[in-house]
Structure 1
Amino acid sequence: MEAIITVVGFLGAGKTTLLKYLMTNYINKGWNPFIILNDYENANLDAQQFIDQIEPKQIRALSGSCICCSGINELRDQVNRIPERTNGITLIEANGTSDACSLMSFLGVGLNDRFLPPIQISVVDLKNWQKRGEHNELEANQIQVSSLIVLTHTENIPSNRLTLVIKELNKLNPLAETMRMEEIDIYLIPKLSPSKNKAQKFEHLKSHWSSCSVDLPKLPNSNCIYDICSTLPKTILRVKGCTRIGNEEEYTYFERTPDGKVSIRPFNGLPITGAKLLTIGPGSDPKLLEKAIKNSLLQQDKVRN
Structure 2
Amino acid sequence: MIPLVLMAGFLGSGKTRLLTELIPQLTARGTRVRIILNDFQNARIDAARLGALDALVTPLNGECVCCGSLRELLQTLYEVPPDPGSVMLIEANGATETDELLGHLTTDPRLAHFTLPLQLTVVDAARWQKRWWHNGLERAQVSTATQLHLNWTHKLEAARLRTVESALRDVNARAAHVTVEHYAAYLHDLAMAVREDSARGGRSGVVWATRTGEKREHRHPFGSVSLPLPAVVDRAAFERFVEALPEAVVRAKGLVRFADEPGPMYVWHRVPGKQGVSLDRSWPHADALPTALFIGVEMPVSQLREQIAQLTG
TM-score range for the pair, normalised by the shorter chain length: 0.5 to 0.7
State whether residues 122 and 149 of structure 1, in contact with CA within 8 Å, keep that contact through their aligned partners in structure 2. yes
State whether residues 147 and 193 of structure 1, in contact with CA within 8 Å, keep that contact through their aligned partners in structure 2. no
* CA offsets 1:22-45 (integer angstroms, 9 cap, x no match): 221111100111111001224111
In the aligned structure 1, how far is the partner of 2:67 from the partner of 2:58?
Answer: 18
1:32 corresponds to = 32
1:133 Cα deviation after fit: 1.0
2:243 corresponds to = none
1:10 corresponds to = 10
How many residues are treated as equivalent by the alignment? 200
Unaligned runs of 5+ in 1: 204-305
2:65 corresponds to = 67
In the aligned structure 1, how far is the partner of 2:123 from the partner of 2:178?
Answer: 10
Amino acid at match of 1:171: D
Percent identity reads: 31
* CA offsets 1:93-145 (integer angstroms, 9 cap, x no match): 00011111211112223233221111110000111100111111111111111
Alignment of 1:193 onto 2:192? no
2:167 corresponds to = 168
Pair 1:192–1:46, CA change in 2 (3 A): farther
Alignment equivalent of 1:93, drawn from 91, 94, 98? 91
In the aligned structure 1, how far is the partner of 2:159 from the partner of 2:220?
Answer: 31
1:195 Cα deviation after fit: 5.0
* CA offsets 1:262-286 (integer angstroms, 9 cap, x no match): xxxxxxxxxxxxxxxxxxxxxxxxx
Alignment of 1:140 onto 2:211? no
TM-score, structure 1 as length reference: 0.61
1:84 corresponds to = 82
1:172 Cα deviation after fit: 1.0
1:202 Cα deviation after fit: 3.7
* CA offsets 1:207-236 (integer angstroms, 9 cap, x no match): xxxxxxxxxxxxxxxxxxxxxxxxxxxxxx
Larger strand share, 1 or 2: 2
Does 188-197 or 169-178 show the bigger shift? 188-197
1:155 Cα deviation after fit: 0.5
In the aligned structure 2, how far is the partner of 1:169 from the partner of 1:40?
Answer: 27
In the aligned structure 1, how far is the partner of 2:72 from the partner of 2:114?
Answer: 17
In the aligned structure 2, how far is the partner of 1:15 from the partner of 1:73?
Answer: 23
**Matched residue SS, 1:36:** strand
Q: Runs in 1 of length 4+ with deviation above 6 angstroms?
A: none
Once the two structures are superposed, the pairs formed by residues 1-305 of structure 1 within 5 Å of their partners are 1-54=1-54, 58-110=56-108, 111-181=110-180, 184-189=182-187, 190=190, 191=218, 193-195=220-222, 197-199=248-250, 201-202=272-273
**Matched residue SS, 2:72:** helix
Does 189-198 or 168-177 show the bigger shift? 189-198
1:192 Cα deviation after fit: 5.5
1:74 Cα deviation after fit: 1.4
1:171 Cα deviation after fit: 1.0
Amino acid at match of 2:48: Q
Unaligned runs of 5+ in 2: 191-217, 224-247, 251-270, 275-313
* CA offsets 1:165-210 (integer angstroms, 9 cap, x no match): 111111111111124445x24232443632584458247xxxxxxx
1:290 corresponds to = none
Larger Rg: 2
**Matched residue SS, 1:187:** helix
Does 124-133 or 193-202 show the bigger shift? 193-202
**Matched residue SS, 2:156:** coil
In the aligned structure 2, how far is the partner of 1:142 from the partner of 1:112?
Answer: 22
State whether residues 22 and 180 of structure 2, in contact with CA within 8 Å, keep that contact through their aligned partners in structure 1. no
State whether residues 145 and 195 of structure 1, in contact with CA within 8 Å, keep that contact through their aligned partners in structure 2. no
In the aligned structure 2, how far is the partner of 1:198 from the partner of 1:171?
Answer: 17
Amino acid at match of 1:92: I
In the aligned structure 2, how far is the partner of 1:105 from the partner of 1:29?
Answer: 31
Pair 1:83–1:192, CA change in 2 (3 A): same
Amino acid at match of 1:167: S
1:85 Cα deviation after fit: 2.1
Pair 1:54–1:192, CA change in 2 (3 A): farther
Pair 1:192–1:33, CA change in 2 (3 A): farther
